[in-house]
Amino acid sequence: MSAPGTGQPPPGDALSAGMRTIREFAGVHEVWPRGDRLQAVREAALAYRERFRGQGRIHAVRSFDIAAAPYPTRYAFHGAAIGPNPFVNIVNRVLVVHFDGFDKVPRTLVWEPTVAAGSSTAPFYAQLKRLAGDFLSDRVFTRYYHEPEEVLPLCGLRPEDVDYVSFDHLHVQDVRLIMGSSKPLAGQAAPPEPLFPRASLLVHRKELGTFASPHPMQWAWYVDGGMDGVPEDRVAAFDADVELGVGVSLLWTPGHTDGNHSLVLNTPDGIWVSSENGVAADNWQPELSRIPGVRRHARFFRHEIVPNANTLEDSLDQYDSMVKEKTLADRSARDPRWLQILPSSEIARWKRQWPVWPTYSHGGLRYGSFPGEAAEGRAETP
């Protein structure tokens, strides 16, 4: 059975999986005019921040690098960055989060488990490979660190321990390689098995709609057929801002894509946000940036953010969403100038990309201990 007119499985309702709607953000994305909307978003984020903090903390989180992929410099900072190399590299990272549901049952979320083999088939990267050739694409532009299934043993977990999988959006994701499919992929005899056999995919309903019927301006970033045959009972959709459990929320942050959402965690060091609305801390705090052009661009236009802009489905919405993120995030315990926002894909500090290097990098997240691990006490960001 498919959802009408989409060819995709009809998603289940994520709220039935124990999630709760965040009341503070109800209606803020409909406020008009747009300047008033930005203020409404900011005020709602401030109100929710205090309530979220008081609900409790997660048990544990670890981040792991997955792969580094080429990315046009002009996209990374909305054309503001100045450098000799037309490409930077962004490193995809996965987060494994252990927390209590509101029913007090422990649960595990895997955030951004990108399968690089699937991402390479997205039209943008497939065409880039044809232009650059196999050597540049596979040996120079790309670097591999972990497969998503390799990180679970490092946390003392098994694939069947994972309850939820989610991405901030579905750019360059072949969901079939993660959630499984009833149909074989091209050139394969058997359908792909799920990486996490018990997990539900948590996804904003608008992102599913875009995947099913992308606009030409969205086409280059979505894997064609990337959700074909994904079992309908493995997909749980939501429509707005939701709480997943104690210390874990998924905030609707539209703009980069219509269904974009961001992960918010409460940890011993306060609130963290993970997002790909930016690819460096500089995107959220351009006034501190040492990347040539970024600070000047923000000052000239009186912008408090500079977006990651490979797609601008709604640049005003993305601006508001990044303000929403930075309003929620606490300041870093290591360097209080910087907010605790961790890009889900972050620019690598590679020599050939100079001077387009992150001014500051948090490096990753590591707190607490998972079941089966020795207790670690407070863990540090590596």
DSSP state for residue 171 in the 8-state scheme:
T
Report the candidate in 261, 321, 195, 268 with the shortest Cα–Cα distance to residue 19.
Answer: 261
pTM: 0.92
Given pLDDT bands bounded at 50, 70 and 90, which one contains residue 2? very low
Peptide bond connecting 33 to the previous residue in cis, omega within 30 degrees of 0: yes
Q: Is residue 10 over pLDDT 70?
A: no
Q: What is the DSSP string of 194-227?
A: PSSTTPEEEEEHHHHHHHHS--TTTGGGS-TTTT
Angle between helices 315-328 and 34-54 (to 10 degrees): 30
**For residues 172-196, average pLDDT:** 94
Write the pLDDT tens digit of every residue in 101-150. 999 999 999 999 999 988 989 999 988 888 877 756 666 678 899 999 89
Residue type, 30: E
Q: Assess contact for 173 and 167: CB atoms under 8 A.
A: yes
Question: Which three-class secondary structure string do you get for 123-145?
Answer: HHHHHHHHHHHHHHHHHHCCEEC
Residue 242 has pLDDT above 70, yes or no: yes
Helix, coil or strand: residue 161? helix
pLDDT in tens, 47-104: 999 999 999 999 999 999 999 999 999 999 999 999 999 999 999 999 999 999 999 9
Mean pLDDT of the chain: 91
What's the pLDDT score for residue 202? 97
- Reported as a single tens digit per residue, the pLDDT across 363-381 is 999 999 998 775 443 344 4
Instruction: Give whole-number Cα distances, 115 to 38, 92, 208, 225, in Å.
Output: 35, 10, 19, 15
pLDDT at 160 over 80: yes
